[in-house]
C-alpha cells in the first residue's frame, strides 16, 4: 500500500497550510483524487480543483471522518482538539499541525529525517512540530554526530504566513496603506507588521517567554530525545510573506570545526548547505520560498564560546515547516506499516 491507495482528508483546506498540502499532493501524486476537502462552515460549498478534479469543500463535523484513512489537520488549535480524537476514533490516522497534542507523551512529534522511528508507537494521532522547530532540529540532529549538544540559542525571523492567510493579506494591504500615509490598524497581528518587526508570536507566559518560544524549547528536546539540552529562543515576526529564518547558536561538549559541520549538514537528507559568504551566497527567504529543503549557511565558529557554532537557517514554513513534513510523515508511516486505520 502507498499513499496513492488511501483516502485523504484535509481539514483547513482553504487555509495557507491546507492549500500548500493540496499543492504538494498534486505535485507528488498527480493522479490522486481520493480526497475530502474540509474547512469551517464559512467555506462549505467552495470549489477547489486538485489533479484536474473539482472538489466541493465541506464543513468539518464529527461525521466527516468515517470514510477516510488519513487526515491532515491545519486549522485552529481548538479544531484539532475537537476533531483530532474524533477522526482517530473513526479509525483514521491523524497528522496534526497544531500545538494541541505535541507535548502529549502519548503522541509522537515527528520530523521523519530526525525521529521517524517514533511513528511506530503512535496511537492514531501524530503531531508535526512548530514551523521554526522543524528547521532547527533538521540542522541540530546531524551535528550531534560530531559531539553532543549542550545548549542551543535560536532567534527567529518568522514570516507572516506562519500566522495564516489573514496575516498575509494584512501585510499586503497594510504596506500599501502605510506607504500612502494611512493608519496601520493591525487586526490579524498584535502590532503593525508593515515596515516593522515585533518579538511577539503567540501569547506571553509567566516565564517571560512567548508560547511560540516555549514550543521551540520543549519540542526540540522531545524530537531529539534530549531533555538535557538547554534551549532558549526569541521569536520575532518580520514583514516577509513566506519562509522563516533562524539564527542558531549551538554549543557542543567538544569543539566542532565549521568545516566538519558543513560536511555533516551536506550529508543530511532534506538539508542544503548554501555557504559561500565571499560570493554573497547564504540562504534567504525569497530563495527558499516554494522549496522543499532546509537551507543553512553562515556556518562559523561562535566567537563567544570555544565549543560553539553559529549558523543561519532558512526554510519555507508552509512546506517543510508544515505541509511537506506532514506528507512525509504520512509516507513514512505507510512505508513502515504504521498506518493502522480500520481501512488498512
Ligand atoms: P475557513 O477558510 O472556512 O475559515 P489560515 O491558517 O490560513 O488562517 O487557515 C485556517 C484554516 O482553518 C482555514 O482553512 C479555515 O477554514 C480553517 N478553519 C477555521 N475554523 C474552522 C473550523 N471550525 N472547522 C474546520 N476548519 C476551520
Mean pLDDT, contiguous 10-residue spans, the chain (344 residues): 90 97 97 97 98 98 97 98 98 97 98 97 97 98 98 98 97 98 98 98 98 98 98 98 98 98 98 98 98 98 98 98 98 88 50
Q: Do 112 and 155 fall into the same domain?
A: no
In whole angstroms, give the CA distance from residue 336 to residue 101.
Answer: 22
What's the CA-to-centroid distance between 76 and ligand 1, angstroms? 6
Residue 60 beta carbon below 6 angstroms from any ligand 1 atom:
yes
41 lines ligand 1 (CB under 6 A): no
Does one domain contain both 246 and 267?
yes
Task: Say if ligand 1 is within 6 A of residue 14 CB.
Answer: yes
CB of residue 84 inside a 6 A radius of ligand 1: no
All three cell numbers of 240, joined, read 516577509
Total of domains in the chain: 2
In this structure, the answer to whether residues 142 and 62 fall within a common structural domain is no
Report the C-alpha gap between 312 and 297 in whole angstroms.
5
pLDDT at 55: 98
Structural domain contains residue 167: no
Q: Are residues 154 and 213 in the same domain?
A: yes
Residue 1's pLDDT is what?
64
For atom 8 of ligand 1, which residue has the closest CA?
164
In the structure grid, which three cell numbers stand for residue 303, read together? 566567537
What stretches of the chain adopt beta strand conformation (E)? Answer: 8-11, 35-39, 47-50, 53-56, 58-59, 70-73, 93-96, 125-127, 149-158, 230-237, 244-252, 271-273, 294-301, 308-315
Give residue 55's domain range: 8-129+322-335
> Does one domain contain both 98 and 218?
no
Residues 118 and 209 in one domain: no
* Per-residue model confidence (pLDDT) at position 105: 98
Neighbours of 228 (CB within 10 A): 9
The catalytic residue positions are 131, 244
Q: Are residues 13 and 75 in the same domain?
A: yes
**Cβ of residue 18 lying under 6 Å from some atom of ligand 1:** yes
Total-model pTM: 0.96
Query: What burial class does residue 207 get, using C-beta atoms within 10 Å of its C-beta: 0-12 exposed, 13-18 middle, 19+ buried?
Result: exposed
- Choosing from 16, 19, 21, 39 the residue with most ligand 1 atoms within 8 A of its CB, the one to mutate for a pocket test is 39
Task: Give the CATH number, domain containing residue 238.
Answer: 3.30.360.10
Q: Shortest CA distance to 123 belongs to which of 145, 156, 94?
A: 94
Q: Which of 26, 62, 24, 56 is nearest to 43 (CA)?
A: 56
Provide the grid cell at 88. Answer: 482517530
Q: What is the four-CA torsion angle of 312, 316, 322, 325, rounded to 10 degrees?
A: -80
Task: Establish if 313 belongs to a structural domain.
Answer: yes
Residue 110: Cβ within 10 Å count: 27
Do 54 and 137 reside in the same domain of the chain?
no
CATH assignment of the domain containing 79: 3.40.50.720
Task: Tell how far the Cα of 286 is from the centroid of ligand 1, in angstroms.
Answer: 26
The alpha carbon of residue 43 and the mean position of all alpha carbons in its chain are separated, in whole angstroms, by: 24
Q: Is 266's C-beta closer than 6 angstroms to any atom of ligand 1?
A: no
- Closest C-alpha residue for ligand 1 atom 6: 164
pLDDT at 338: 82
Looking at the structure, tell me whether residues 282 and 331 fall in a common domain.
no
> What span, in angstroms and rounded, lies between the C-alpha atoms of 294 and 246?
11
> What is the C-alpha to C-alpha distance for residues 44 and 62, in angstroms, rounded to an integer?
15
Looking at the structure, do residues 93 and 141 belong to the same domain, yes or no?
A: no
Amino acid at each position: 500500500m502507498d499513499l496513492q491507495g488511501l483516502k485523504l482528508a484535509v481539514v483547513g483546506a482553504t487555509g495557507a497550510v491546507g492549500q500548500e498540502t493540496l499543492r504538494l499532493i498534486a505535485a507528488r501524486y498527480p493522479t490522486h483524487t481520493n480526497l475530502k476537502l474540509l474547512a469551517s462552515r464559512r467555506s462549505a460549498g467552495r470549489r477547489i480543483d486538485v489533479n484536474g478534479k473539482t472538489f466541493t469543500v465541506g464543513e468539518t463535523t464529527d461525521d466527516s471522518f468515517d470514510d477516510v484513512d488519513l487526515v491532515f489537520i491545519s486549522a485552529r488549535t481548538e479544531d484539532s482538539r475537537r476533531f483530532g480524537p474524533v477522526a482517530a476514533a473513526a479509525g483514521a490516522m491523524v497528522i496534526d499541525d497544531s500545538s494541541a497534542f505535541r507535548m502529549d507523551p502519548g503522541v509522537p512529534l515527528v520530523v521523519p529525517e530526525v525521529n521517524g522511528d517514533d511513528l511506530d508507537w503512535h496511537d492514531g494521532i501524530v503531531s508535526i512540530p512548530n514551523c521554526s522547530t522543524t528547521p532547527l532540529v533538521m540542522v541540530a540532529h546531524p551535528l550531534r554526530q560530531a559531539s553532543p549538544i549542550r545548549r542551543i540559542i535560536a532567534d527567529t525571523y518568522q514570516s507572516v504566513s506562519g500566522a495564516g492567510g489573514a496575516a498575509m493579506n494584512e501585510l499586503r494591504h497594510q504596506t500599501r496603506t502605510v506607504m500612502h500615509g494611512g493608519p496601520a490598524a493591525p487586526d490579524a497581528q498584535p502590532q503593525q507588521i508593515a515596515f516593522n518587526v515585533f518579538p511577539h508570536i503567540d501569547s506571553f507566559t509567566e516565564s517571560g517567554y512567548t508560547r511560540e518560544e516555549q514550543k521551540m524549547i520543549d519540542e526540540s528536546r522531545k524530537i531529539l530525545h534530549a531533555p538535557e539540552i538547554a534551549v532558549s529562543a526569541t521569536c520575532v515576526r518580520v514583514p516577509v510573506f513566506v519562509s522563516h529564518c533562524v539564527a542558531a547558536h549551538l554549543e557542543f561538549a567538544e569543539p566542532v570545526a565549521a568545516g566538519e559541520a558543513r560536511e555533516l549538514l551536506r550529508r543530511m537528507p532534506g538539508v542544503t548547505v548554501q555557504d559561500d559568504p565571499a560570493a554573497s551566497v547564504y540562504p534567504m527567504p525569497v530563495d527558499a520560498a516554494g522549496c522543499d529543503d532546509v537551507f543553512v549557511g553562515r556556518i562559523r565558529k561562535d566567537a563567544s564560546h570555544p565549543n560553539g557554532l553559529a549558523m543561519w537557517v532558512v526554510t519555507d514554513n508552509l512546506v517543510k515547516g508544515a505541509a511537506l513534513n506532514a506528507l512525509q510523515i504520512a509516507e513514512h508511516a505507510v512505508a513502515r506499516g504504521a498506518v493502522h486505520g480500520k481501512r488498512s
